[in-house]
Amino acid sequence: MKNIVILISGTGSNMAAIVRAAERERWAERLGARVVAVLSNRPGAAGLDTARAAGIATAVVDHRAHASREAFDAALMQAVDAHQPALLVLAGFMRILTPAFVAHYAGRLVNIHPSLLPAFPGLHTHQRAIDMGCRFAGATVHQVTAELDHGAILAQAVLPVLPGDSAEALAARVLTQEHLMYPRAIAELLLKI
């Protein structure tokens, strides 16, 4: 069985979409894969409750309890490796990972970013797209590399920026596409590993 571990920092809406897709599409039977754990760097992350309600193991590795980014990543790596993941999925995980962490999961670490990469890596993507006068926005599923939001693109969803769009309105529309695209991209990747 290919174990999937998901990292979150907040509500975990993409994680929940992945879990729903895994159940609905019978990933265990069809792909030999299952979501075995959801980990967060924030103790109060609402997504942990969602994962527990789905019967998925959860854990917290609080980044504030570690003296350095390297120490946090080492503790996180130990918690992740306890589940022997074939795939490590970042779903709203709001920490920049060290090169050593990324190298440890090379080829099996994916992220979703709320822009059409390579445009607008980092934060505030929707407002930046609006400010630049972009006619289209979207989201990107990509392999994670040591360079922030620059890994190989696995999938993209494109939608128009509407006249009068606010960053919040655009973000809400992009998020609905993320919930559809991320599980599909993960399923396709699982066929290759």
Return d(Cα 92, Cα 65) in angstroms, integer: 20
3-class DSSP state of 110? strand
- Helix, strand, or coil (residue 53): helix
Catalytic residue among 63, 83, 104, 113: 113
Sign of torsion over alpha carbons 58, 176, 130, 115: positive
Cβ contacts of 148 within 8 Å, gap of 6 or more: 96, 121, 122
What is the DSSP track for 148-177? Answer: TT-SPEEEEEEEEPPTT--HHHHHHHHHHH
| Residue 113 known to be catalytic | yes
Q: Which residues are catalytic?
A: 113
